[in-house]
Amino acid sequence: MKEITPAKIAKLDSILAGASKATIVVHVNADGDAIGSGSAMLHYLLEVRGLDAAVAVPDRDAGGSSFLIPEEDRKYFFFFQSEPERTEERISSSDVIIVQDCIGFSRTEGLAPCLGRSSARKILIDHHIGPESDSFDLVFSKTDISSASEMLFHILMEMPDIGKDASKLPRISGRALMTGMTTDTNNFANSVYPSTFDMASKLIAAGVDRDEILNQLYYSYRESRLRLMGFLMNKMTITPEGVAYMIMTKRNFASFGVTDSDTEGFVNLPLSIKDVRMSVFLKQDTGFFRVSTRSKKGTSAQQFASRYFNGGGHENAAGGRLYFSDEIKSIRDVIAYLEQSINDFFA
Ligand code: 5GP
Ligand code: MN
């Protein structure tokens, strides 16, 4: 893989060799790829490199990815929203910071100021458009790859202590990498490359139990998720431009008794309709709506998210935010802004 040169591997190896305390940092609203790539790197650093290692997450908890963190691993995870001081102290006292599954500090939300002040060596391992390379000593980033988990897999395979032998990866790392790749590709439905199958094949050969992972990811939901899905599908709007949108209010969260992670993947569903070219899902948060968007080939979800919702991501899967403001005070205003944006985008 061109992005992973012997010179970069040597540099990574030497940074880790000189490290005493390493902290992995992932993006806010951490998903399967963030927690997966985070815990995979964590176990490589702990078990293979014998380092003092930890993962810092900007959120309150690991949400739907909690199954990746066994009880005995909790001490290695620092959730900023639950323990701000402990997390900041961990970052400030680390001499190596590894940012994964985001373009840089900007998507680590509350952790960004602390990362900016840190004088640690910094490494980026990502797969999004527009890496903030200037903030890092070493960058592994390309967009024609499924996930940060896949990027990390190929990096680890090149490390001298793994020597291209996936069976030398810690057991937890293999499971976590397979999980992150699976969630970012929606179980091999998008962003799949020859290198992705190569990774999956090597991990399965090394003993990773894919059935167990699929069971955790897709066959362990709560009933309320499906009931809510039916409700939202029924209320979905499809605009003349072929954009499907759904809006989930705080009230919906309460009346269905669901949490954020129960809505994972909903934004993908409207794309199964023939004439829908983009899907937008808005979820009410405190003071803003979180925006998720997915598109079919030929329509840029990334452009849409960055132009109207101050966000970004990938060409066909992106996100951003819509804040309440003087112009946007009610759900009705949100709908008007959204419809206007769609109209403008396709004009
Ligand atoms: P999701 O809809 O699953 O939350 O996010 C889809 C993709 O868009 C992910 O790759 C995520 O990293 C990116 N993304 C989501 N929200 C934001 C945002 O607020 N800003 C940027 N730059 N990217 C985002
Ligand atoms: Mn990812």
Taking phi first (over 0 means left), then psi (-120 to 50 degrees means alpha), and beta for anything else, what does residue 187 get? left
What phi, psi does 320 have (nearest 5°)?
Answer: -175, -160
Q: Sort strands 243-248 and 237-238 into parallel, antiparallel or unpaired.
A: antiparallel
* pTM: predicted TM-score of the whole model, two decimal places: 0.93
Residues 303-312: what's their mean pLDDT? Answer: 97
CB atoms near residue 309 (< 10 Å): 25
Is residue 7 predicted with pLDDT exceeding 90? yes
Q: Which segments within 188-328 are labelled E, that is strand?
A: 237-238, 243-248, 278-284, 288-295, 312-314, 317-323
End-to-end Cα distance, the chain? 40
> What is the 80 CA–ligand 1 centroid distance (Å)?
19
Q: What is the pLDDT of residues 145-158, one digit of tens each?
A: 999 999 999 999 99
Under 8 Å between Cβ of 129 and 302: yes
Asked if 257 and 250 touch (Cβ cutoff 8 Å), the reply is no
pLDDT at 128: 95
Query: Is there a contact between 119 and 93 (Cβ–Cβ < 8 Å)?
Result: no
Mean predicted confidence (pLDDT) in 172-177: 98
292 lines ligand 1 (CB under 6 A): yes
Task: Tell me the best of 26, 37, 59, 107 to mutate to test the pocket of ligand 1, counting ligand atoms within 8 Å of each CB and taking the most.
Answer: 107
If you measure from the C-alpha of residue 31 to the centroid of ligand 2, how many angstroms do you get, rounded to a whole number? 8
Cβ 318 under 6 angstroms from ligand 1: yes
280 CB less than 6 Å from ligand 1? no
- Mean predicted confidence (pLDDT) in 335-343: 98
**Under 8 Å CB-to-CB from 216, ≥6 apart: which residues?**
67, 179
Report how far ligand 1's centroid is from the alpha carbon of 49 (Å): 32
Q: Model confidence at 245, in pLDDT bands (50, 70, 90)? A: very high
Can you give the pLDDT at residue 189? 92
Residue 261 has what pLDDT?
87
**What is the per-residue pLDDT for 129?**
92
Tokens of 72: 């005995």
- The best mutation among 141, 149, 248, 292 to test binding of ligand 1, ranked by most ligand atoms within 8 Å of the C-beta, falls on 292
DSSP helix/strand/coil, 252: helix
Q: Residue 312: CB within 6 Å of ligand 1?
A: yes
| pLDDT tier at 29, thresholds 50, 70, 90 | very high
Question: Distance between CA atoms of 182 and 72, rounded to whole angstroms?
Answer: 24
User: Mean pLDDT over residues 94-116, rounded?
Assistant: 97
Mean pLDDT value across residues 223-248: 98
Ligand 1 atom with minimal separation from the 302 CA: 8
Q: Can you state the angle between helices 171-184 and 148-158, rounded to 10 degrees?
A: 140
pLDDT > 70 in the chain, percent: 100
3-state helix, strand, coil in the chain (%, to 5): 50, 20, 35
What pLDDT shows up at residue 296?
97
Distance separating alpha carbons of residues 265 and 336, to the nearest angstrom: 25
Check: CB of residue 208 under 8 Å from CB of residue 178: yes
Q: Per-residue pLDDT averaged across 164-177, rounded?
A: 98
Question: Which tens digits make up the pLDDT trace of 253-280?
Answer: 999 999 988 999 999 999 999 999 999 9
User: How many angstroms does the Cα of residue 301 sit away from the middle of ligand 1?
Assistant: 10
- Ligand with the closest atom to the CA of 150: 2
Distance between CA atoms of 25 and 36, rounded to whole angstroms?
12
Rg over alpha carbons for the chain, rounded to the nearest Å, is: 20
Banded model confidence at residue 306, pLDDT cuts 50, 70, 90:
very high
Q: Is the CB of 314 under 6 A from ligand 1?
A: yes
Indicate the average pLDDT of the chain. 97
Ligand nearest the Cα atom of residue 100: 2
* Index of the ligand 1 atom closest to the CA of residue 311: 20
Residue 139 clears pLDDT 90, i.e. is over it: yes
**313 CB within 6 A, ligand 1:** yes
